[in-house]
Amino acid sequence: MSKTIILSNRLPLQINITKEKLQVTPSVGGLATGLKSFHREGDSIWIGWSGLTEEEIPVNLKAEIKVRAREDACITVSFTAEEMDGFYYGFSNRSIWPLFHYFTEYTEWESWQWEMYKKVNQKYADSVIEHYEEGDKIWVHDYQLLLVPNMIREQRPNATIGFFNHIPFPSYEVFRTMPWREEILNGMLGADLIGFHTYDYERHFLSSVRRILRRPVEFNEVTLANRVVKVDSFPMGIDYEKFEQTALKHHEISEDQETELQQRLNFHRKKSPDSQLILSIDRLDYTKGIANRIRAFEYFLEKYPEYIGKVRLVMLAVPSRSDVPQYQLLKKEIDELVGRINGKFATVSWIPIWYFFRSMPFENLIDLYTSCNIALLTPIRDGMNLVAKEYIATRTNQTGVLILSEMAGASHEMNEALIINPNNFEQIADAILQAIKMPKEEQIRRNTLLQKRLKRYNVVRWATDFMKALDKTKENQPSFKAIHISQEIQEKILTSFKNAKNRILFLDYDGTLVGFEDKPNLAKPDEQLLDLIKKVSKIKNTKVVLISGRDKETLGTWWKALPVELIAEHGVWVRKTGKEWQLNEKVHNNWMKNVRPVVETFCDRTPGTFLEEKNYSLAWHYRKADPELGEIRANELSNVLKELISNHGLSVLEGNKVLEIKSSGVNKGKAAGKVLLKKDYDFIFAIGDDWTDEFLFQELPENAITVKVGVKKTAASYYVEDTNKVRDLLLQFSRVH
């Protein structure tokens, strides 16, 4: 039976060795906590790092670790300390993490760390391959493994691969600063489905793909040479029931069963019943805005001194990544801040901040969530922030106020919280005041709505939705009617080529025989291509027709010496083999004087675009423009032109990064039809890459072999990936005879 392979940097369990004995504890952190429930309920295995380096594992415990992990359907991957240093503490946490959270001043670019990142990603990918069976689904998680999807794809081209990014994806302007940006994007695009927490992250990613890789992006789909990758947002939920049920039980336990922490909390509550506890929980990370939060709390006490002695900040910070210098500095900064503020405001019976720097067992988290009537979460950037959701889930009597940063992904779904800007102390101080004074009915009203939403979209629903969408990506792929020319199909085509008596080949030029250049005149045929076409056109009873939107002068010059027929400007001109150019259609160009100035204004307003004038058509090229602006302006120009030229027998052709205005009656299909009338061909072949070639595919008789270059919607029967494949196919033709 097929299974799901979950892959993340860390396993949901952390293995430690004390006195030669294994100790297994659950891992802390959003990903592990969230995904654990999905893993438990489904048929899946989880591959990841155990938390111990190879050096730390005594030989006699190696097997035991594997067995222990297997009990929880986990598979360990092991790394040396050096690998972890470069991959995890290095590139993951000194390059990607700060960059993706907009802390560009903290980013380091060390090529040895990048090399280690690649190496370790490859190890993870290899481990997946080792456990992969046909039909399995692979779900890769987070920023440490950005290269893995494509590494798996290279070894298992048909695998179903999903990728989810748990942290923000930064705007293009920030992402572009990364030295290995192409590699990172291509790595992620190895997946069939890429998920983010919010639409903004999705938008930023697509924008980077479009601008950096210059890949076509339509809505939320990226078209690659032979696949389409879907990108979507799936806001991660929590195991709502677990938090709700534990909180309900927590309220029922007798005093003597309470934890020590709960007893202390109760003691303080009894001593001053009007006092308020403000909770703050995070990993100790500079993105979480912990220092800002403390300063804002200080500002609150200064602005509203009547609350001195009545409000307390309960701050829990989990140690994290302590091998990275910024985290050590942050620890120092927080220690000092807490010390300074406690020193400044403390009275004999009250201190303003209770600070815990440690990981806490689950029941203590519940003690805190249920005992604090305000939660203050002020990240500067946060992919989602699950603590906000956990806090709301534990408020079983619906009281309590959540103050949440607008920079957390969770703020998009939690509008009923008090949403603040983490850099605006004034606003935070006022939000604390508002929270303290908020009537119970209002708290209940807000939390009821929040709880309803969080309960419905819990972590299992999140994971199920992602997996369903992943299945759909495979269903959607064959919606391209065209079939890929495999080795087997190629053989069949070659056989009918060989057996035919009269052959004709219609070949588009740009994007088919040659790749695109920034300027059209740079895409001249190279020697290898000229040689190849010469060979094919010399085969007996074989006619080669180059059919293009290009002007007759350029085509004529480039293909002067070859025995091929040329069709220029989409069919306006024909040059039979060895003859002069002839007008093929009755067209006029007196409309150009009215249309040219309109196109010119678009050239002026859109840097990188230019106008190409042909004899009977005008083409506006926007390949070199900023991709997003180019698309917007192309759409705008197309609409303007359609209005301008209506009833003039003209049409606007939308080609590959070009808009062309020409006579309506002229197209490649019509031109090819005329050529076919002259002779009875028993092998008709046509190949092209863009929209203008669709006329050709549609017009040709049913038995014609029509081939699209690239994966796009098409009327052609077959497709090949790129121009290299086209040349390869032509080479095979030339070798048949």
Residues that are catalytic: 508
Distance CA 173, CA 204 (A): 9
Binding to ligand ADQ, residues 480-539 (CB under 6 A): none
Complete DSSP assignment for 662-705 = EETT--HHHHHHHHHHTS--SEEEEEE-SGGGHHHHHHS-TTSE
Which of 12, 34, 195, 289 contacts ligand ADQ by CB under 6 A? 34
Name residue 514's beta-bridge partners: 510
Comparing CA positions, the residue from 312, 410, 401, 319 lying closest to residue 356 is 319
Cβ burial 26-41 (10 Å sphere, 16+ → b, else e): bbebbbbbbbbbbbee
Binding to ligand ADQ, residues 232-271 (CB under 6 A): 236
Distance CA 125, CA 138 (A): 10
Q: Is 190 helix (H, G, I), strand (E, B) or coil?
A: coil
Q: Which is nearer to ligand ADQ, 104 or 601 (CB)?
A: 104
Least distance to ligand ADQ, CB of residue 288, Å: 7
Task: Classify residue 637 as exposed, middle or buried by CB count within 10 Å of its CB (0-12, 13-18, 19+).
Answer: buried
**237 φ, ψ to 5°?**
-100, -175
CA R_g for the chain: 32
Q: Is 401 helix (H, G, I), strand (E, B) or coil?
A: strand
Q: Which stretch binds ligand ADQ (CB under 6 A): 358-366, 412-420, 607-615, 686-694?
A: 358-366
Q: Which stretch binds ligand ADQ (CB under 6 A): 52-60, 263-271, 384-392, 619-627?
A: 384-392
Q: Which is nearer to ligand ADQ, 238 or 661 (CB)?
A: 238
Angle at 462 between CA 459 and CA 467, to 5 degrees: 125
Which of 160, 373, 385, 473 contacts ligand ADQ by CB under 6 A? 385
Which of 278, 315, 386, 696 contacts ligand ADQ by CB under 6 A? 386
Least distance to ligand ADQ, CB of residue 197, Å: 7
Least distance to ligand ADQ, CB of residue 435, Å: 20
Q: Which stretch binds ligand ADQ (CB under 6 A): 52-60, 303-311, 382-390, 701-709?
A: 382-390
Distance CA 470, CA 685 (A): 36
Which of 12, 29, 48, 422 contacts ligand ADQ by CB under 6 A? 29
Distances (CA, A) of 392 to 228, 244, 401, 463, 546: 39, 9, 9, 21, 67
281 binds ligand ADQ (CB under 6 A): yes
Least distance to ligand ADQ, CB of residue 385, Å: 5
Q: Which stretch binds ligand ADQ (CB under 6 A): 37-45, 172-180, 377-385, 411-419?
A: 377-385
Q: Which is nearer to ligand ADQ, 235 or 669 (CB)?
A: 235
414 binds ligand ADQ (CB under 6 A): no
Q: Which is nearer to ligand ADQ, 146 or 625 (CB)?
A: 146
387 binds ligand ADQ (CB under 6 A): yes
What does DSSP assign to residue 250? H
H-run or E-run covering 63? helix 62-71
316 binds ligand ADQ (CB under 6 A): yes
Least distance to ligand ADQ, CB of residue 207, Å: 21
Q: Which is nearer to ligand ADQ, 364 or 398 (CB)?
A: 364
383 binds ligand ADQ (CB under 6 A): yes
Residue at shortest CB range from ligand ADQ: 30
Least distance to ligand ADQ, CB of residue 121, Å: 19
Which of 17, 22, 24, 28 contacts ligand ADQ by CB under 6 A? 28
Distance CA 244, CA 391 (A): 10
Which of 31, 99, 178, 513 contacts ligand ADQ by CB under 6 A? 31
318 binds ligand ADQ (CB under 6 A): yes
Which of 83, 136, 239, 382 contacts ligand ADQ by CB under 6 A? 382
729 binds ligand ADQ (CB under 6 A): no
Which of 116, 330, 365, 463 contacts ligand ADQ by CB under 6 A? 365
Which of 94, 283, 312, 575 contacts ligand ADQ by CB under 6 A? 283
Pairing assessment for the beta strands 44-49 and 4-10 based on DSSP bridges: parallel
The H helix count followed by the E strand count for the chain is: 26, 30
The distance from CA 112 to its chain's CA centroid, rounded to whole angstroms, is 26
Tokens of 546: 């180059």
The phi-psi region of residue 578 (left if phi > 0; otherwise alpha if psi is between -120 and 50; otherwise beta) is left
Distance CA 438, CA 426 (A): 18
The site that binds ligand ADQ (CB under 6 A) totals a number of residues, namely: 23
The distance from CA 185 to its chain's CA centroid, rounded to whole angstroms, is 8
Least distance to ligand ADQ, CB of residue 42, Å: 18
Cβ burial 413-438 (10 Å sphere, 16+ → b, else e): bbebbbbbebeebebbbbbbeebbeb
Binding to ligand ADQ, residues 162-221 (CB under 6 A): 166-167
Distances (CA, A) of 160 to 9, 137, 193: 20, 5, 9
Least distance to ligand ADQ, CB of residue 29, Å: 4
Distance CA 453, CA 235 (A): 12
360 binds ligand ADQ (CB under 6 A): yes
Question: Which spans of this chain sit near ligand ADQ (rule: CB under 6 A)?
Answer: 28-31, 33-34, 166-167, 236, 281, 283, 316, 318, 359-360, 365, 382-387, 390
